[in-house]
Amino acid sequence: MVYVKSIILIIILLFLITFGVKNSQPAQLNYYLNILTAPIPLYSIVYVSIVIGIIIGMIVGVSSRFNLRRKVRSLQRETRELREKLVERPGEQEEEKGEREV
């Protein structure tokens, strides 16, 4: 399995390197208010965009994971409280049966 991952990683790296070589022509980004950047190689714009997308995806994933952890803790607490009530009840039911029979 390690070899398969290594081969896939090498293929991806070769793709990224050849993409960078084939798209090295300079490009300028035009922002709002006519703000222009210095000429940047096209491949770097693409790579930066991919990295920013990955970072945003990770942030969204981490925040949802924290929300899920909070929900799991709350449900575990509720389960524990219900089990404690369930353990207390059989004793109460036996006492009630004893009182009814007398």
Cβ(39)–Cβ(26) under 8 Å?
Answer: yes
3-class DSSP assignment, residue 83: helix
Q: How far, rounded to the nearest angstrom, does the alpha carbon of residue 90 sit from its chain's CA centroid?
A: 43
Per the prediction, the chain carries an average pLDDT of 85
* Percent of the chain whose predicted confidence (pLDDT) is above 90: 39
Q: What is the pLDDT of residues 34-65, one digit of tens each?
A: 888 889 898 888 899 999 999 999 998 898 89
Q: What are residue 39's phi and psi, to 5 degrees?
A: -60, 130
Can you tell me the distance from the alpha carbon of 20 to that of 37, in angstroms, rounded to the nearest whole number? 20
Residue 89 pLDDT exceeds 80: no
